[in-house]
Amino acid sequence: MRRSTAAAVGTLTGAALIVGVRLSVEPPAAPVAAPPAVDLAGGTPTPKPKPTGSAAGSSAGNKSGKATASKSAAPKSGLKDGVYKGDGARNPYGTVQVSIRIEGGEITAAEATYPTTADSGTINPPAIAALKQETLGAKSAKDLNAVSGATYTSKSYAESLQAALDAAKA
């Protein structure tokens, strides 16, 4: 019984580290936590853990975070079905809390809440939600059909590349 709790906490720690937070507890080997963290980084919603655990199947009335073992033989992994939350880990950017769901003795979902304020927003969100920096180009205007730019007046149009293109076509 104690062992299974320790295993669950271990995976929480592992997942928390993947989102970039240092916890005081040394993480045991927890390879199963990696895939959900990748999903989070990719912006794909992972299944939302329910506040109360419910083992796959029928057992109703589980208490929060402490799912009762189903009557079938205990899974080999020693993990009890249910939903478990790690202690929130504080870091300079806010608090990170990781939840996992165990079904049939296996972790089926993991999710982390992390700060999304302006400062931390640049650190934690999926890398996909950012513009990439590049070298400012200065290409010649050949082979263009049209030019987009901030022109506000007829005068600025007259001086624009678009005007030159139009003149070339007229």
Partner 1 sequence: MGTTVSIELTPDRPDHELRALIADVCGWLHEVDARFSTYKPDSEVCRFRDGALTLADLSADMRHVLDACADLWRDTDGYFDAYATGPLDPSGYVKGWSVEVASARLLAAGSTSHYINAGGDIRMRGHHPDGGPWRVGIRHPWEPDKVSWVLALTDGAVATSGTYERGDHVHNPRTGKPAQGLRSVTVVGPDLSIADAYATAALAMGEAGITWLAKRAADGYDSAVITDDGRAFSSAGLPAAV
Q: In whole angstroms, give the CA distance from residue 65 to residue 101.
A: 10
In angstroms, the CA 111 to CA 101 distance is 9
Binding residues for partner 1, per CB under 8 A?
118, 121-122, 128-141, 143-154, 156-163, 165-166, 169
Q: Which of 64, 102, 62 is nearest to 81 (CA)?
A: 102
Cβ distance to partner 1 smaller for residue 74 or 141: 141
The smaller minimum CB distance to partner 1, of residues 34 and 158, is found at 158
**Integer Cα distance of 98 and 46 in angstroms:** 12
Residue 2, H or E segment:
helix 2-18
- Beta carbon of residue 159, minimum distance to partner 1 (angstroms, whole number): 7
Nearer to partner 1, 1 or 167 (CB): 167
Smallest gap from Cβ 119 to partner 1, in A, equals 11
Q: At closest approach, how far in Å is the CB of 39 from partner 1?
A: 16
Evaluate whether 95 touches 117 at the Cβ level (below 8 Å). Answer: no
Q: Which is nearer to partner 1, 26 or 134 (CB)?
A: 134
Minimum gap (Å) between residue 55 Cβ and partner 1: 35
